[in-house]
Amino acid sequence: MIICACNRLSDTAVRNHCETAAGNARVKNVYPALGGQACCGRCARTIREIVRETNAAALAGAKAEMRAAA
């Protein structure tokens, strides 16, 4: 689904970028990493939610790996 009409960014592209960042994704880095720039701002809330979700999932995965290794 397209979440940013100005830059034609899909939720899948944003999630893939955030997952690649391995818990260090930042909203301000999403636009340039995907070849765009912040414009009208209508997508910022959705991108922020995706960043939070993927960062939390990466953190949970890292904690699970540490527990398994212990």
Q: Structurally, how many domains does the chain consist of?
A: 1
Q: What is the pLDDT of residue 53?
A: 94
Q: What is the pLDDT of residue 68?
A: 86
Show the beta-strand stretches assigned E in 1-70.
2-4, 9-10
pTM value is 0.85
Q: What is the pLDDT of residue 22?
A: 82
CA distance 25 to 23: 6
- Residue numbers of the chain with a pLDDT score lower than 50: none
